[in-house]
Amino acid sequence: MDAGLGSCRADFLVKDGADKPIFNAKISLTIKYGFLSKRKSEVEIAPTAMARPASRDCPIFQEPLDFFIKSGDVTTTVTDDPSTNCNAVFNVTLTAH
């Protein structure tokens, strides 16, 4: 997915505890911008078929971005700072506790 917001990207590969791809996982992000960060845009992406990572182009922000990954009742948060990690790759394992 290309939001046209910049040249940085975050790639995600979401797996279960048995190291198998989770195809129904959702990755969401709220981007705050503008004067005093009063404007916001919410984005949701899903991993693509064939276990390829989902991608999200990210602009350079002053603050880190929190990506929320969810499948069923299992969730986790991945934080990325595009100003120091412009082409991030995340291997995320979702397991029920």
Using one digit for the tens of pLDDT, what is the confidence trace for 48-62? 544 444 455 555 555
Cα gap 64→28, rounded to integer Å:
14
Record the pTM: 0.73
The distance from CA 49 to its chain's CA centroid, rounded to whole angstroms, is: 16
Whether 29 shows a pLDDT value over 70: the answer reads yes
Lowest pLDDT segment from 17-26, 30-39, 81-90: 30-39
Q: Residue 61 in contact with residue 82, Cβ under 8 Å?
A: yes
pLDDT higher at 56 or 80? 80
pLDDT of residue 50: 44
Q: Are 65 and 9 in contact (CB under 8 A)?
A: no
Class of domain 8-94: mainly beta
* E strand segments, 1-97: 8-16, 26-33, 39-45, 54-58, 65-71, 74-80, 87-94
